[in-house]
Amino acid sequence: MMLNRRKLNGAARFAPPAALGAVCALLLFDLLAFWALQRRPLASVDGMETAIWAVLWGTAVTAGLRWLVMRESRLRKQVAASLLVMIAFSALHPWHNGYAVPAEMAVRADGQRSVPADAVVVFEHGPLSAASESRW
């Protein structure tokens, strides 16, 4: 079976916006899960975090290189959108902005985290699990 190149290219141009939309949807879901339901976010898993950042960097770098080499100026919007989603993910996601620091991490210097010690919650299981009964 022979693939039609035009149909494949037409469908492939929707892949980067769909990937950025999926990352935005995951960010919204994680914010809801963490703040409203008090569950561990999905992006707190190393594999998920790696996949998210691979999609974000891959989308930005690929569009940037195509913009630079092939002079496709319409891709500057895709580069800007990718960078915007990176910034939003870093700033808003509780696991990435330092609010929900894993308990296994080294203790941070004073003044970098303004959360009181009695507010530290431990998640003993994987993503979307509830916090354990013990508090630190």
- Mean pLDDT per 10-residue section of the chain, whose length is 136 residues: 65 86 95 88 87 94 90 89 94 81 54 54 69 57
0.95 exceeded by pTM: no
Helix axes 15-31, 46-70, angle to 10 degrees: 150
The reported pLDDT for the residue numbered 37 is 87
- The string of DSSP codes covering 79-93 is HHHHHHHHHHHHHH-
Contact 59, 19 (CB under 8 A): yes
Q: Give the residue among 13, 16, 10 at the shortest CA–CA distance from 61.
A: 16
* pLDDT at 61 (0 to 100): 94
